[in-house]
């Protein structure tokens, strides 16, 4: 009789081995998962990897994923990467905004064009809120709004680069006067809705009557319009004065990269392309393209009329600070053009006698007004 016990079937031994291996691997996986979870929690709580993981890294060598592959390459931002265009009303701002919408898509920058048009003066809290909101826009960005100059440094916030465009003050006033009443080539309805409270006797008020009889719309402080955009949010900036004029000039010199004049718009665009290439690259070609011209022609004010010579003289006297500032801007702009070697200057002035001829040629009102503005007497 054999005393040896019978060997178990070969299949049973194989099952036992596989069961033991599976339990061991399962326990190892759970342990690894637990260590990983604890390490992640400690990393987040301590703001970095726990010492245990550092020791493990040292034991197995200094190579890590970041060492082998490197961090993600940060996006290279242009300099400057923050631009604010606090656009002056009826100084070509809609033309520029149309261009910016095309440029933002082409040149890949963030364009924020505010829909707030009638709130240029802000309280201190509103100023701070707006500046903080502007500063959180993804860079590179260009922010544009009808708003008086905001001094970021006053609130210890990093200041953006400012740009702007101004226009002959009387031309700007006349464009605004008729635009509020009759709109532009996009249709009257658009702006009749904007001024629903305007009665017919006001809408069709003769421009000479408004000026010579000193209606509020044609008198100070309403005529003191361009300077506050550069003077700032101080209450004194709202009243025609030498102080506001000087403050506006100081801010232009200290805070603005470029302030152009609408009468030389192509040169303004050329300088913007050179000074801010990331934002304005190819802007002049876009501006001259037939597709853009078709859009740009829709922004012209309709039903404009030229006041009489006497009315123009009254306006000029009321806007003496505005013209002082405009001439200052024009001189600075021409100096910048000279530094960049631009030779395209405005057409040479003509004699004042052409203004007298204007009274017989009302259909050439815009041309004559420009001539008079160059040589007011």
Closest-CA residue to 170 (of 264, 303, 263)? 263
The residue from 55, 125, 146, 191 that is catalytic is 146
Rounded to whole angstroms, how far apart are CA atoms 246 and 234? 13
Q: Whats the size of the chain, residue-wise?
A: 377
Tokens (6 digits) for 353: 């006698």
For residue 81, what is the DSSP state?
A: -
Closest-CA residue to 175 (of 145, 144, 149, 207)? 207
Rounded to whole angstroms, how far apart are CA atoms 215 and 181? 16
Q: Is 278 a catalytic residue?
A: no
Q: How far is CA 44 from CA 5, 39, 50, 57, 71, in A?
A: 60, 9, 9, 18, 19
Where in the sequence numbering do the catalytic residues fall? 146
């Amino acid at each position: 009789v054999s005393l040896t016990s019978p060997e178990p079937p070969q299949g049973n031994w194989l099952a036992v081995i596989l069961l033991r291996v599976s339990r061991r691997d399962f326990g190892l996986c759970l342990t690894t998962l637990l260590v990983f979870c604890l390490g992640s929690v400690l990393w987040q709580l301590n703001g970095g990897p726990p010492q245990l993981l550092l020791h493990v890294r040292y034991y197995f060598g200094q190579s890590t994923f970041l060492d082998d592959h490197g961090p993600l390459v940060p996006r290279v931002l242009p300099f400057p990467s923050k631009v604010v265009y606090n656009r002056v009303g009826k100084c070509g701002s809609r033309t520029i905004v149309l261009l910016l919408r095309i440029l933002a898509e082409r040149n890949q920058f963030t364009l924020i064009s505010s829909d707030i048009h009638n709130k240029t003066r802000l309280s201190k809290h509103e100023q701070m809120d707006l500046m903080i909101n502007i500063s959180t826009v993804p860079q590179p960005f260009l922010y544009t709004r009808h708003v008086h100059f905001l001094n970021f440094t006053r609130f210890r916030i990093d200041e953006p680069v400012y740009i702007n465009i101004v226009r002959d003050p009387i031309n700007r006033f006349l464009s605004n006067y008729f635009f509020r009443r009759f709109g532009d080539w996009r249709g009257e309805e658009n702006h009749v809705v904007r001024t629903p409270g305007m009665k017919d006797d006001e809408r069709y008020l003769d421009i000479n009557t408004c000026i010579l009889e000193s209606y509020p719309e044609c008198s100070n402080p309403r005529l003191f319009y361009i300077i506050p955009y550069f003077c700032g949010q101080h209450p004194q900036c709202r009243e025609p004065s030498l102080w506001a004029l000087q403050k506006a000039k100081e801010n232009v010199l200290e805070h603005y990269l470029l302030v152009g004049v609408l009468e030389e718009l192509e040169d303004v665009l050329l300088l913007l392309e050179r000074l801010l290439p990331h934002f304005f690259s190819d802007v002049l070609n876009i501006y001259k393209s037939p597709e853009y011209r078709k859009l740009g022609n829709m922004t012209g004010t309709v039903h404009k009329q030229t006041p009489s010579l006497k009315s123009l003289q009254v306006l000029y006297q009321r806007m003496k600070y505005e013209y002082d500032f405009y001439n200052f801007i024009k001189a600075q702009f021409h100096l910048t053009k000279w530094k960049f070697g631009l030779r395209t200057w405005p057409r040479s002035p003509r004699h004042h006698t052409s203004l007298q001829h204007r009274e017989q040629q009302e259909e050439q009102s815009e041309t004559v007004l420009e001539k008079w503005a160059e040589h007011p007497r």
